[in-house]
Amino acid sequence: IRLFLAYAAHKDFTVFQMDVKTAFLNGILKEEVYVGQPPSFVSKQYPDHVYALDKALYGLKQAPRAWYGVLSQFLIDSVFQKGLIDTTLFIRKKDKHIMLIQIYVDDIIFGSTNPKYCTKFSDLMVKRFEMSMMGEMKFFLGLQVNQFSNGIFINQSIYILDILESSGMENCDTVPTHMVEQAKLKLDLVGKLVDHTIY
């Protein structure tokens, strides 16, 4: 994500965000998957039967992969190239312009050196999938994003505040560094061991 934003800042284009409303319900399963009958809908005639799924459902371990397969094929059919290293990055070049699309499950960020391409891409996606256009990207994968004419700035202040709140330290004294400079640490031979997996 940081590389994507750095490139957008370098090329001076705005990054937009959209969300697929029912992403996992669009996936087509490649294998046979069976589910038991829901307790309230057990057939009186066939109480021991199971259902074969035609499409992916939320909660299936295959659902994200099935959704990615559908979306990936749609973008390739729409003349986008899949990234060689990052297969969730899709690129389209036309003349001197470039458009980038980054997928993270059902969240999509995109931008182009030609703003018209962003509108066309948004329209293309809305025609095929149930989408929610979120406008200019402001928050993605725990990063707060501020886009200005002189650059793109990212921070994680909301994430940090959540960590402080969950550990009961939201009212602690602040310092500009994680630890006071040149602090002398002393070995505590009688103290309680710290569970390092928490940090």
User: Which residues have C-beta within 8 Å of that of residue 107, sequence separation ≥ 6?
Assistant: 17, 18, 19, 20, 140, 141
pLDDT confidence of residue 199: 63
> What are the domain boundaries of the chain?
2-157
Q: For position 22, what pLDDT does the model report?
A: 66
- Per-residue confidence (pLDDT) for residue 24, from 0 to 100: 54
CB under 8 Å to 35, separation ≥6 — which residues? 50, 51, 53, 57
Tens digit of pLDDT for each residue in 2-60? 888 999 999 999 999 998 886 555 656 677 777 787 888 888 888 888 877 777 666 66
pLDDT at 23: 54
